[in-house]
Amino acid sequence: MEIESGAIKWLEQLDEVHRIEAVRESFAKVAATQEGKIVFIVLLGELFYILPATTPEQVALSNFAKEFVAKHFGEHAQARVLEALLARSD
C-alpha cells in the first residue's frame, strides 16, 4: 500500500500535461504485457467498446469506454485498435 500511495503522491505533484503523459506511459507498459492485454480485452469487452451496444445502458458504457481509451491511450487509440483488428482479419 505504501508504494501505491507514494506513486499517487508523485503523480499528484505533476502538472496536468506531465500527469497525462505519465498515465499514458503506464497504460502502454501494462498493455504491452500478456496479462495487461487480457485485462484490457476483458474490461473493454464488458464496456461494449467493440461489441454492439443495444440498450441505453450499454451505449453509455460504450461511450465511457471510448472516452477512457482516448484519455489514457491517446486520441488516435481507436484508429490503432481498428488497424489491429483489420490486420488480424482474414
Boundaries of every domain in the chain:
2-88
Burial track 54-85 (b if 16+ CB lie within 10 A, e otherwise): eeeeeeebbeebbebbeeebeeebeeebeeee
pLDDT band per the 50, 70, 90 thresholds, residue 1: very low
Task: Output 46-55 pairs: Cβ under 8 A, ≥24 positions apart.
Answer: 49/81, 50/81, 50/85
More confident residue, 80 or 29: 29
Give the three-state DSSP class for 59. Answer: helix
Q: What is the DSSP string of 53-82?
A: P-SHHHHHHHHHHHHHHHHHH-TTHHHHHH
Per residue in 10-39, pLDDT (tens digit) is 888 999 899 889 988 988 899 889 998 889
pLDDT of 86 over the 50 cut: yes
Q: What is the pLDDT of residues 53-70, one digit of tens each?
A: 999 999 999 999 999 888
pLDDT given at position 50: 84
* pLDDT for res 76: 85
